């Protein structure tokens, strides 16, 4: 039954490979955007006090929206919601075993961020800090055989073999720190700004559920927790499309 | 919402930026072997001496024979050191009203052919069947095999089945265990049934060293341990049994 262990290894390789490529792409995109827009916005020292905007954001946190309000000449507060509901069925093939697999990541957070514009002459640069409550923050991998499986001369159904379910959960409160590029509230009606930062998530809870012949895998929860306990930094690379109210 | 696998684990990707350990480091696939839920451990000895008769063979007959398998799930029934474990396949389960019977026939050169009916019932998942066969023409009464000594301190043993070529794979064997004191030269005695790799017994004396043996798929698997503590975790190389998974 080598398919499960291959699956686990496959996931690890995927994680590492995409990690680098994804960031490279996003950073390149940001450099292009920044180079075209930074100068255009840096010369207008409009105060943000009592100004309001709404944002639609898109990035590593998924999709979301925010309401922004200027509480001081250099400080604005943002209240928002982000959601990532992603799942993939049958994304994996195993050479010697027919299996169905499912991988999913579900993150939903409500956040309150403070944007501080330290330099009046450069309102396009901001320091951002705040906190989020992750109502959902989980990753899941599940795999089970698709067809019958032979044990010696006995043919077992997929239900008799069982399935393996690995869950990692970061649900809870997480602080955020980062920088913002471009105005937090548009000087005119509309702008696009950028967030670069990171959440620091709580230590994850892990759960391994095995059924049938795979029931014994739950005793590896301690090892899985040990492996992922430092997976707490959740970088944010995000584009915000702002509309001034 | 279903999108590409590239995005399904982006959160894990991002989280892994600052984490060194692979999520799957030292995680193994653990598989149980308790596919046969109703088993019988058959032990064949020379009635006069208690020794293992040479060249003894076993055949299974009766209405249920088609659903009787060796513990490895195969239809090959070979006595190894005079023992073999048989059981009912998942397709046949005894009920209160309908227990399942099969007939075991033991043949060996120079011995009287002996048959025994084995009954599988709902209240007896495991059973030990001792079959003593007498030499042709022998009038010696069968010897009484002494019960193992009972010690006051129970010892818990956890057996982990490993595979030489598959380090990411572990087996929790559900098998019958034999034992004898190392170097005693005595025949192996029945220790008990190990359920999913675990057995607790009062048959082991502190300070003594024992050989433990089980038979699976026509092979002996053995390990030696000196008993000085209340519990041990022992590794059992599963040999060709690994090919069964």
Show me where the domains of chain A are located: 3-244
Give me the pLDDT at residue B13, please. 52
Name the residue in chain A with its Cα closest to that of B68. Answer: A154
How many Å apart are CA A113 and CA A178, to the nearest integer? Answer: 10
Percent with pLDDT over 70 in chain B:
91
SS (H, E, C) chain A: CCHHHHHHHHHHHHHHHHHHHHHHHHHHHHHHHHHHHHHHHCCCCCCCCCCEEEEEEEECCEEEEEEEEECCCCEEEEEEEEEEEEEEECCCCECCECEEEEEEEEEEEEEEEEEECCCCCCCCEEEEEEEEEEEEEEEEEEEEECCCEEECCEEECHHHHCCEEEEEECCEEEEEEEEEECCCCCCCCEEEEEEEEEEECCCCEEEEEECHHHHHHHHHHHHHHHHHCCCCEEEEEEEEEEEEC
Give me the pLDDT at residue A141, please. 82
Give me the pLDDT at residue A15, please. 38
Is the predicted pLDDT of residue B245 greater than 70, yes or no?
Answer: no
User: What pTM did the predictor assign?
Assistant: 0.71
Structure tokens at A39: 């100068």
Mark yes or no for CB contact A156/B35 under 8 Å: yes
Give me the pLDDT at residue B1, please. 31
Domains parsed from chain B with CATH numbers: 36-133 (2.60.40.1120), 155-244 (2.60.40.1120)
Mark yes or no for CB contact B23/A201 under 8 Å: no
Alpha-carbon distance A75 to nearest alpha carbon in chain B (angstroms): 29
Query: Apex CA A34: angle with CA A29 and CA A39, to 5°?
Result: 160
3-state secondary structure of B176: strand
Nearest to A210 by CA among B59, B21, B28: B28
* More confident site: B65 or A142: B65
Is the predicted pLDDT of residue B62 greater than 60, yes or no?
Answer: yes
Give me the pLDDT at residue B131, please. 95
Mark yes or no for CB contact A89/B73 under 8 Å: no
Mark yes or no for CB contact A1/B2 under 8 Å: no
Is A142:A163 a contact under the CB 8 Å cutoff? yes
A–B interface: beta-carbon pairs under 8 A: 172
How confident is residue B69, by pLDDT bands cut at 50, 70 and 90?
very high
Task: Please provide the average confidence, as pLDDT, over all residues in chain B.
Answer: 87
Question: Exposed e or buried b for every residue in B71-108, given b needs 16+ CB within 10 A?
Answer: bbbbeebebeebbbbbbbbbeeebeeeeebebebebbb
Give me the pLDDT at residue A46, please. 59
Give me the pLDDT at residue A12, please. 38
* More confident site: B76 or A14: B76
How confident is residue B125, by pLDDT bands cut at 50, 70 and 90?
very high
Give me the pLDDT at residue B58, please. 96
How confident is the model over B211-222, as a mean pLDDT? 86
Mark yes or no for CB contact B8/A16 under 8 Å: no
How many Å apart are CA A51 and CA A183, to the nearest integer? Answer: 12
Give me the pLDDT at residue A41, please. 46
3-state secondary structure of B83: strand
Give me the pLDDT at residue A172, please. 96
Contacts of A66 (CB under 8 A, 6+ apart): A54, A55, A57, A78, A79, A80, A81, A240
Instruction: Name which CATH class applies to A3-244.
Output: mainly beta
Lowest mean pLDDT among A42-46, B161-165, B224-228: A42-46
Nearest to A233 among B4, B18, B69 (CB): B18
Place of tokens 């800090």: A129
Mark yes or no for CB contact A91/B14 under 8 Å: no
Q: Which of B6, B10, B168 to mutate to test the interface with A (most CBs of A within 10 A)?
A: B10
Name residues of chain A where pLDDT drops below 50: 1-45, 92-97
Give me the pLDDT at residue B144, please. 81
Is the predicted pLDDT of residue B11 greater than 80, yes or no?
Answer: no
Whole-angstrom CA distances from B109 to B2, B113, B243 are: 68, 9, 33
How confident is residue B5, by pLDDT bands cut at 50, 70 and 90?
very low
Give me the pLDDT at residue A89, please. 61
How confident is residue B90, by pLDDT bands cut at 50, 70 and 90?
very high
Nearest to A14 among B9, B70, B244 (CB): B9
């Amino acid at each position: 039954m080598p398919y499960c262990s291959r699956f686990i290894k496959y996931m690890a390789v995927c994680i590492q490979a995409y990690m680098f490529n994804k960031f490279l792409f996003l950073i390149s995109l940001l450099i292009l955007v920044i180079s075209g827009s930074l100068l255009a916005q840096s010369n207008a020292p409009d105060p943000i006090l009592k100004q309001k905007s709404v944002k639609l954001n898109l990035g590593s946190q998924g999709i979301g929206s925010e309401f922004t309000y200027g509480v001081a000449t250099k400080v604005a507060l943002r209240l928002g919601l982000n959601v990532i509901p992603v799942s993939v069925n049958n994304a994996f093939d195993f050479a010697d075993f027919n299996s169905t697999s499912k991988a999913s990541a579900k993150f939903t957070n409500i956040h309150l961020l403070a944007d501080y514009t330290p330099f009046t002459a450069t309102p396009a640069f901001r320091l951002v800090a705040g906190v989020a409550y992750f109502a959902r923050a989980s990753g899941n991998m599940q795999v089970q055989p698709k067809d019958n499986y032979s044990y010696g001369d006995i043919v077992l159904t997929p239900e008799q073999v069982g399935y393996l379910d690995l869950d990692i959960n970061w649900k809870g409160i997480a602080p955020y720190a980062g920088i913002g590029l471009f105005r937090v509230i548009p000087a005119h009606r509309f702008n696009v700004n950028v967030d670069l930062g990171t959440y620091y998530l709580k230590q994850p809870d892990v759960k391994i559920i095995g059924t049938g012949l795979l029931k014994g895998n739950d005793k590896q929860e301690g090892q899985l927790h040990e492996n992922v306990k430092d997976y707490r930094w959740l970088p944010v690379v995000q584009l915000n499309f702002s509309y001034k109210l | 919402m279903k999108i590409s696998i590239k995005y399904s684990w982006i959160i894990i990707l991002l989280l892994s930026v600052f984490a060194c350990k692979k999520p799957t480091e030292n995680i193994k696939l653990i598989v149980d072997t308790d596919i046969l839920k109703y088993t019988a451990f058959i032990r064949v000895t020379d009635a006069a001496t208690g020794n293992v008769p040479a060249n003894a063979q076993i055949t299974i007959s009766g209405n249920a024979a088609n659903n009787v398998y060796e513990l490895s799930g195969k239809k090959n029934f070979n006595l190894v050191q005079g023992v073999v474990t048989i059981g009912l396949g998942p397709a046949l389960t005894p009920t209160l009203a309908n227990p399942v019977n099969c007939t075991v026939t033991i043949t060996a050169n120079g011995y009287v052919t002996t048959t025994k009916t084995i009954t599988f019932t709902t209240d007896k998942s495991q059973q030990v069947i001792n079959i003593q066969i007498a030499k042709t023409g022998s009038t010696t009464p069968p010897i009484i095999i002494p019960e193992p000594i009972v010690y006051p301190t129970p010892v818990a043993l956890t057996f982990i089945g490993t595979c030489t070529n598959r380090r990411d794979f572990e087996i929790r064997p559900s098998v019958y265990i034999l034992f004898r004191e190392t170097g005693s030269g005595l025949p192996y005695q029945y220790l008990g049934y190990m359920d999913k790799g675990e057995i607790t017994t009062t048959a082991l004396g502190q300070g003594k060293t024992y050989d433990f043996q089980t038979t699976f798929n026509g092979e002996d698997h053995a390990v030696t341990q000196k008993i000085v503590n209340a519990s041990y975790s022992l590794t059992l190389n599963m040999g060709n049994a690994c090919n069964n998974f």
